Amino acid sequence: MKIKLGSKKLAAFVFIAVLLALTLSGCGADNVLYVYNWGEYISDGSEGSLNVEKAFEEYYFELTGETLDVRYTTYPSNEDLYAKISGGGSEYDVIFPSDYMIERMISEGLLQKINLEAVCEKYGVECLYSYIDDNYKGLYYDPTDEYSVPYTYGRVGIIYNKEVVDEADIGGWDLMWNEKYAGKILQFNNSRDAFATALFKLGYSVNTTNEAEWREAHDLLLQQKSIIQGYVMDEVFNKMESGEAAIAPYYAGDYFIMRRANENLGFYYPENTNIFVDAMCIPKGSRNPEIAALFINFMLSEEIAIENAKYIFYASPNSLVYNNAEYREFMGEEAMEVLYPENFDFSGELAKNGFRNLDPDTLALISSLWEDLKITGGIGTGVYVVGAVVILVIIAGITALTIRKKRRARYE
């Protein structure tokens, strides 16, 4: 019996048949790698940089003769990443969580083990994990190194305008509470980082579970509120580069980007400050864990790792990067000293000052205190910035002629 189909029905039938054939054959639909990363956290081809996503697609084709589509999306915080992965339904293959979030995701069974050696052997390529410095292996969040591969690390410091801030006032967290600079001080617009500045000033652990200490930190932040210009994340770039603000705590790598626009900016680490690691992981729901592992190994290759490190200005745990003469020359002596200090006890500092995954009661307390801080009292002489402010967007569109690398909120 013959079945007659109209042109539209025939087209629909053919489309479904082709789609089904592609799905069953493992081509097309299956050759997609979903990468979920922080914003501006990979070399993307802008300003003459290498487009790493396209480079991996070409690399994969050379190895297999098959096409691959890398689909890259971004998230603003570890908590957003966690919500996506823990909520189910997402199909990401490679993610870049921070240390404390990796610890949480491992404990909740949200990550799968990474076997780089087996994948590299299958594809006939060198396994590059050995180039990760031993100082960045066996850390608290993944002591067996089975679930993560370090990507970058860094510390929080204080950026200041040397034309405004007296040299005698720099050196500790007290600068953030110095009334002499009222209206010129910025504070983090996320709870863990903002509370950390107060906890460090008070001499407490950033991972304390003592409710009284968290409340004392809240009161100190409330006291500070009257002299700060605003709570910011991305806005810190325009404010510090333009001279509108003079003091801000932020991630060390971003300081060097800001200083390109304002040579009057200086930077220092207080005695105790947050230190963090961001790593590459494969979530349990990955549909292509093998290609994901190949991508992670590709990210460790010398050219790619250097391109990424130059693009985002964060320290790399990859010896192929920090031992490369061209990279060191590109970064400059000051940047190398700040990002890669000699005789620095990384694992000890991470254990002491790195954020840990806190218990539910403490997390709930932090959230409550943060909300109370936001609605109690008023900002000093500046403008309170939360989220996207129309005026700042306009200013950014006019003044930001260079691309901002690695502008993101690490915690909420």
Q: What is the pLDDT of residues 275-321, one digit of tens each?
A: 999 999 999 989 999 999 999 999 999 999 999 999 999 999 999 99
Q: What is the pLDDT of residues 7-64, one digit of tens each?
A: 444 444 444 443 444 443 334 447 999 999 988 899 999 888 999 999 999 999 999 9
**Sheet arrangement for strand 94-95:** 69-75, 32-38, 94-95
DSSP structure string for 36-97: EEETT-S-BSGGG--BHHHHHHHHHHHHHS---EEEEEEESSHHHHHHHHHTS----SEE--
Q: Which fold has domain 27-152+278-331?
A: D-Maltodextrin-Binding Protein; domain 2 (3.40.190)
Are the C-beta atoms of residues 101 and 271 closer than 8 Å to each other?
Answer: no
Cα 17–chain centre separation: 42
How many CA atoms, within 13 angstroms, populate the side-chain half-sphere of residue 235? 24
Q: Where are the domains of the chain?
A: 27-152+278-331, 153-276+339-399
Q: How confident is the model at residue 402 (pLDDT cuts 50, 70, 90)?
A: very low
The answer to whether residue 67 scores a pLDDT higher than 50 is yes
Whole-Å CA distances, 107 to 47, 100, 136, 142? 40, 11, 20, 10
Map tokens 């025939």 to a residue.
10
Q: What is the pLDDT of residues 326-383, one digit of tens each?
A: 999 999 999 999 999 988 899 899 999 999 999 999 999 999 999 999 999 888 744 4
Which range, of 18-22, 114-118, 173-177, averages the lowest pLDDT? 18-22
Query: Which pLDDT belongs to residue 379?
Result: 84
CATH architecture of 153-276+339-399: 3-Layer(aba) Sandwich (3.40)
Instruction: Report d(CA 255, CA 214) in Å as an integer.
Output: 28
pTM: 0.81
The answer to whether residue 151 scores a pLDDT higher than 70 is yes
Six token digits for residue 210: 């003592």
Map tokens 């949200």 to a residue.
110
How many CA atoms, within 13 angstroms, populate the side-chain half-sphere of residue 107? 13
Instruction: Report d(CA 162, CA 127) in Å as an integer.
Output: 46
Q: Which residue has the higher pLDDT, 160 or 347?
A: 160
